[in-house]
Structure 1
Amino acid sequence: MARNSTKPSSQDELLNEFQALVQDTEKLLQHSASLAGEQAEELREQIRTSLGRARSTLNNAEESLRERGKAAVQATEGYVQTHPWQTLGIAAGIGLLLGMLITRR
C-alpha cells in the first residue's frame, strides 16, 4: 500500500494554520469589544462569521483525517488477516533491524 509522505505533513500544517487563525480571530474579537459604533459592530460580526467558517472547515478536515485513519487501520487489519505469515516475517525483520541498530550504539 503506497503512501504519499507529503500529505500528512501538509494536512498537519493546514490544521495548525486553521487553529492559529481561530486563536488570532478570537483575540481580535476580544480586543474589538472596546470599540464603539456601527463600524465596530459590523467588524465584530464579520469576525464572528469568519471564525465560524474557519471552525467548520477545521472540523471537516478533522473528520476527513479520522475517516482516512480508520480506512488505513481496516486495510492493515485485512492484510494481516489474509497474510499472517508474511506479516510475521516482516515484523521479525523489522525487529532484527531495530535490534542491530540499537546494539551498534
Structure 2
Amino acid sequence: MSEQMSVANKEKLVSDLKVVISDTEELLRATAGAAGDKVGELRERLGVRLRDAKERLLDLEAAVIDKTKAAARATDDFVHEEPWKAVGVAAALGLALGVLIGRR
C-alpha cells in the first residue's frame, strides 16, 4: 500500500513539475524583449535551471513508469499463481464496497 502511495506521490510531483516548467517557459517567452543586464542574467539562469528541471522530470517520469509496470507485473503474477486468493480478495472488496454504498 505504501508503494502505491509513493507512486501516486511521484505522479503528483511529475504533474506539478510540468506545471512549473510550463509557467517558467511562458515567463521566459514574455520577457524575451525586455532589456537590461539583470533581466538577461535572470533569463539565462532560468534557462539553465529549466533545462535541468526538464531532465530531472524525464528521469522521475521514467522511474514512475517503471514502478507502475513492476506493480502491474507483480499483480499479474500473483493472480496467475494464486487465482483463488485473488478471487477471494476481489469478492471481499466487492462486498465491502456494496455494504458501504448500501448504507447511503
* Short-chain TM bin: 0.7 to 0.9
Partner Cα distance (2:78, 2:8) in 1:
25
SS at match of 1:77: helix
Conservation of the 8 A alpha-carbon contact between 1:80 and 1:87: yes
1:96 is the counterpart of 2:95: yes
Alpha-carbon RMSD:
2.2
Q: Residue 17 of structure 2 contacts residue 57 of structure 2 at CA under 8 Å; is this kept in 1?
A: yes
Q: Matches of 1:71 and 1:10 in 2, distance apart? A: 17
Query: How far off its partner does 1:37 sit?
Result: 5.0
Q: CA deviation at 1:31?
A: 2.4
Q: Aligned pair count?
A: 104
1:78-93 paired onto structure 2 within 5 Å: 78-93=77-92
SS state of the match for residue 35, structure 2?
coil
Structure 1 moving runs of 4+ over 3 Å = 37-43
CA apart distance, 1:35: 1.6
Cα distance in 2 between the residues matched to 1:74 and 1:13: 22
Deviation at 1:54? 0.9
Q: How big is each residue's C-alpha offset from its partner over 1:21-65, in whole Å with a ceiling of 9 and x where there is no partner?
A: 212311221222122355544433322211111111111111100
2:98 counterpart SS class: helix
For residues 99 and 58 of structure 2, what CA distance do their matches in structure 1 show? Answer: 43
- Report the more deviating stretch, 81-90 or 35-44: 35-44
After superposing the two structures, state which structure 1 stretch, 47-56 or 16-25, moved more. 16-25
TM-score (ref. length: structure 2): 0.80
Identity of aligned pairs, percent?
35
The runs of 5 or more residues in structure 1 that have no matched partner are none
Secondary structure of 1:21 counterpart: helix
Counterpart residue number, 1:62: 61
CA distance in 1, matches of 2:100, 2:16: 37
Q: Is the Cα contact below 8 Å between 1:15 and 1:58 reproduced in 2?
A: yes
Give the TM-score, by structure 1 length: 0.80
2:73 maps to 74
